[in-house]
Each structure stands twice: as C-alpha cells, then as structure tokens.
Amino acid sequence: MSNIRHALTARRADDFAQWYQEVISAADLAEESGVRGCMVIKPWGYGIWERIQRLLDDRIKATGHENCYFPIFIPLSNFEREAQHVEGFAKEMAVVTHHRLIADGEGGLIPDPEAKLEEPLVVRPTSETIIGDAMARWVQSWRDLPLLTNQWANVVRWEMRTRMFLRTTEFLWQEGHTAHADEAEAREHTLRMLEVYRACAEDDLALPVIAGEKPENERFPGAVETWSIEAMMQDGKALQAGTSHYLGTNFSEAANINYQDREGQQALCHTTSWGVSTRMIGGIIMVHGDDDGLRVPPRIAPWQVIILPMLRDKPEDAALLEYCEGLRAKLAGRSALGEPVRVLLDRKPGKAAAKRWDWVRKGAPIIIEVGSRDMDAGTVSFLRRDRLWADNGKPDFSAPAIEAAAEDVPHLLEEIQAELFRQAEERREANITRGLDSFDAVAEFFTSNGKYPGWVEVQWSKPTGAELDKIVERLKSLKLTIRNVPSQSAAADAACIFTGAPATERILLARAY
C-alpha cells in the first residue's frame, strides 16, 4: 500500500472534492468552458453518456414510451399557469428577450432595442408546461390514453453554485412525460419508471440505490408525490440519481389536458414526469473511482478492452500489430453482457507503459499489453482495472495464453461489472447506521463520527407543514437532509425521533450533493 505510485496525486481520503476534480481531468471526461457553470464534455465522458442513453432509452421504449422533441424555448406565460411550478423555478431561469444584435458603435455588439421580443422566452429548465400544451392537443378521448412520451434534451437552471456533472448550469437529461385516465394508473406508472431507474442504475451503472418517496419539503414544484433513487458516494454523502413524480391533475388543470371518457364526460388527465441526467456520471465517478482515477463499469464503458502493443519503432512491429489485430478481431466477434465486446487496439505511437496509465486513469475495465516476448510465447499481459495492484505494489499483470485471454474476456467483463456493484453495495451497507432512537443520538453521531459519517436510518411519525419545517431546520444545523422513505424498509416499530409519537415509517438522513 505504502509504496504504490498511484496514477493521481489527490487522495479520496484526504480531500474528496479535489480528488473528484482530478478524476474528471485525469480521466479526460470534461473540461471547463469559460461560461459560468457550463462544461465541455470530452469524448470519453460523452461516450459514457451515450452508453447510458442507449441502455436507458431501450428500457424506456420497452415500457411503451415514444421519443419526441420539444422546443428549448418556452413562452414565459406558460410558467405562470401552475403556481407551485413558477415559484420553484422562477429564481433560476434564463430568459431570452431579444432576437438580434447591433453594433454599439464602439466595436462591440448589443441586443437591438428594436428587436425586443413581445413575450420573453424562457430557456427550458424542464418541459412540463410546454409538453402539457401538446398533451392538451393530443389527448381528446379516453382512447388516446395513456400517452407515453419521452425526450432527450438539454436544460438550463441558473444555479448559485455549480459543480462539474453534479450541478451544471446546462445539463443533458431525459425527461419522460405521461398522461393517464385515472389516478391509480398514473401513480402506478410513477413507480414503474422509478423501478426502471433503479434497474438502470444498479444493472447498467453498477450503482446501488435506495428507492423511496421524498418527504413533502423535497417535492418537485407542482408534484403531488416525488420519488427518488439515492446513491451513496464514497465520502458518505447522498446523491439523488433519478426522480419520478406523480403530478396529479395540477398540470392538467393548468394546461387543460382533458378527455372525453367512456360515458362522454369531460375528465382531467393525471400526469407523471421523471428524469435522469448527466449527474449520473458524477455518481459513477464518486462511487467507482479510486486513487488511480475512474473505474468504468463494463456495461457503460465506451471501450471495454484496450490492447496496447509494445511498439519499438522497428520492423518487428508489423508482426506484433498483426498479432494484436488477431486478438482484437477475435474479441470483437465475441459478446459480453449481451452485446459485442467493445475492444480498441490502441495503435497510437508511444510507449505502452506510458499509455497504460492513461487508460488506467480513464478506467477502461481491461487493459491487455502485448510485447514481442508475449508473441513468441503465445501469451498476452493482462490487467484488470478493478484489481490493479499486486501485493508487491506493482500492477498485477497475469500472462494467459492469447486464446485463453480471448476466451475469458466476456465472463471477466461480467465479473468486473458485478464486482464494482458488490464493492459499492458493501460499502454502502457498512455506512448506513440504524437504531439511533433520538434526535440527540443523531446529532451526536454526526458530530463525532469523523469526516465521512455516512447515512442513518431513523423512524418518524411523518409530520407535515410547519412541524416538518421545524424539523428540516434542526436537521440543517447538522447539514442533514431527509433523503427518502425507503420503499424496502421494515415497518416502523418505535417512537418518532422528532416528536416522540409512534413512528409510521423509516427515513434516511444524510448529507447530500
């Protein structure tokens, strides 16, 4: 441990925030853009997003949705229709007021006062209102329901404090919007999509999550119920990795989404919306990253296997490349985790040993180095990113025969996928504390439990309104938030830690991103 020369300089245990940023630049995921809170997502980072998109898009379509695209500009007045919604988003909306620039006479450009928009346009922070307009047109009869739509888009929220991937001014996401004939079906759909997110997070991104309902104070503006999946980062903080909302008839009333039912009566639709964003990538970094950089779960790795020939800039290189190309072709013809293996033969000039560390930092799951000695012996030098270091403090290479390596890669990728999930889940379980039976015990726990205290699960009587507000204030003094009411947790059997009344459910308390 001590004399390992890690690929990063920052350490998770010392300065988690600095480590996080170093991973982003060292793994070549993204960089700053010069515009406040906006980032350039580089090929490796965007490649990961494309993988997430593809896998999640399949899941969304498999549950009956169709993709659409709605405009990025929304008339300001659309937002005025739903009171909670306006209140929630008014503070963070970017507004377009002009459609032309003119010279200011001093070499610069200014918005042309003559080209002022009659009604300002808002850059969408989310699309409930504009999609609601469309739904009102598209839904006429009970036969049009349910209406199941989704869009992949960018949105803008003018946040006070931004962080790469976790909270950026502009971010990429998917937002699903559905309309249903009745409440029961809409509520059921809200949970169905939450389950899609859970499966995507756990099975595709190897992120263990806890699904549950958000408390009243954490609801999406305009929602009747908000549900989330919460993931634990390596510093013990929580990250809301996806949300699903039952919107009741709030948006239907605002946009007149109604239909004629079987009896010929007009009725309001019940709607839902749900989304996950590029924030997921921040979660992947903070759950799977280590002191050598990122570790990308095989299912979402743009390249799962990197072949690095040990080129010597000599005529023998041709034979070595041929040997490597044979391996590449063999691997590319195999499948793992239900898809063809994604394998890159990295022919770029440079020493394999130096390039290896670039791929370690990027987190490619398997790195195969091949030199002339391997070729002569019919072997390769094989390295797993999830088991990088041997006990001697050096990279833990194995030397399988080339055929055996080609044979093993698919199940090794499956094993790495499972191993990343297992490690994350084990860490999370080790860092959820249960059984604290008073607010004082919680306070004591969080003030005396070091830098990364994790989460606690406590019982409460689900207070509402002003009583809840007071509790939220008390929690704030400990920098804690109520994450959600885990759907899977056991029934309550004790007293509420806030009110002393008999508890009705269990909640997770954590510091959060």
Partner RNA sequence: CGGGGAGUGGCGCAGCCUGGUAGCGCAUCUGCUUUGGGAGCAGAGGGUCGCAGGUUCGAAUCCUGUCUCCCCGACCA
Q: In whole angstroms, how close is the CB of 246 to RNA at the nearest point?
A: 13
CA–CA separation, 376 and 374 (whole Å):
5
Cβ distance to RNA smaller for residue 46 or 173: 173
Does residue 322 interact with RNA by CB under 7 A?
Answer: no
Decide: is 34 part of the binding site for RNA (CB under 7 A): yes
Near RNA in 81-110, by CB under 7 A: 88, 91-92
Q: Which residues pair with 149 in a beta bridge?
A: 66, 177
Question: Do 303 and 366 meet the contact criterion of CB atoms below 8 Å apart?
Answer: no
Q: Between 162 and 271, whose beta carbon lies closer to RNA? A: 162
Q: Is residue 25 a contact point for RNA (CB under 7 A)?
A: yes
Q: Is 32 in the site for RNA (CB under 7 A)?
A: yes
- Pairing mode, if any, of strands 238-248 and 343-345? unpaired
What string marks each residue from 480 to 499 as x (binds RNA by CB under 7 A) or -?
-x------------------
Structure tokens at 142: 């009970």
Which 420-459 positions form the footprint of RNA (CB under 7 A)?
Answer: none
Query: Min. distance of Cβ 205 from RNA in angstroms?
Result: 14
CA 195 to chain centre: 15
Task: Quote the least distance from Cβ 332 to RNA, whole Å.
Answer: 22
Are the CB atoms for 71 and 121 separated by under 8 Å?
Answer: no
Among 395, 454, 463, 486, binds RNA (CB under 7 A): 395
Q: How far is the CB of 178 from RNA (least distance, A)?
A: 16
Residues 127, 150, 190, 243: which binds RNA (CB under 7 A)? 243
5 binds RNA (CB under 7 A): yes
What's the DSSP call for residue 342?
-
Q: Is 270 in the site for RNA (CB under 7 A)?
A: no
350 binds RNA (CB under 7 A): yes
Under rule CB under 7 A, residue 314 binds RNA = yes
Q: Which residues in 234-265 are b (16+ Cβ under 10 Å) and which e?
A: bbbbbbbbbbbbbbbbbbbebbbbbbeeeeee
Long-range contacts of 6-10 (CB under 8 A, 24+ apart): 6/291, 6/292, 7/291, 7/292, 7/293, 7/357, 7/360, 7/361, 8/291, 8/292, 8/293, 8/361
Pairing of strands 258-260, 266-268: antiparallel
29 is an interface residue for RNA by CB under 7 A: no
The answer to whether the beta carbons of residues 494 and 459 sit under 8 Å apart is yes
Residue among 381, 417, 459, 484 that touches RNA (CB under 7 A):
381
Should residue 122 be labelled a site residue for RNA when binding is judged by CB under 7 A? no
Considering only 67-75, 395-403, 415-423, 438-446, which stretch makes contact with RNA by CB under 7 A?
395-403
Shortest approach of RNA to residue 261 CB, angstroms? 31
Contact 404, 398 (CB under 8 A): no
Q: How many CA atoms lie within 13 A of 435 on its CB side?
A: 1
CA distance 368 to 357: 12
The token pair at 183 is 């409440």
347 near RNA, judged by CB under 7 A: no
Task: Please give the residue ranges that form the binding site for RNA (CB under 7 A).
Answer: 5-7, 17-18, 20-21, 25, 32, 34-38, 88, 91-92, 126, 157, 159-164, 167, 173, 218-221, 223, 226, 228, 240, 242-243, 275-277, 279, 310, 312-314, 350-354, 356-357, 369-375, 381, 394-395, 397, 399, 476, 479, 481, 512
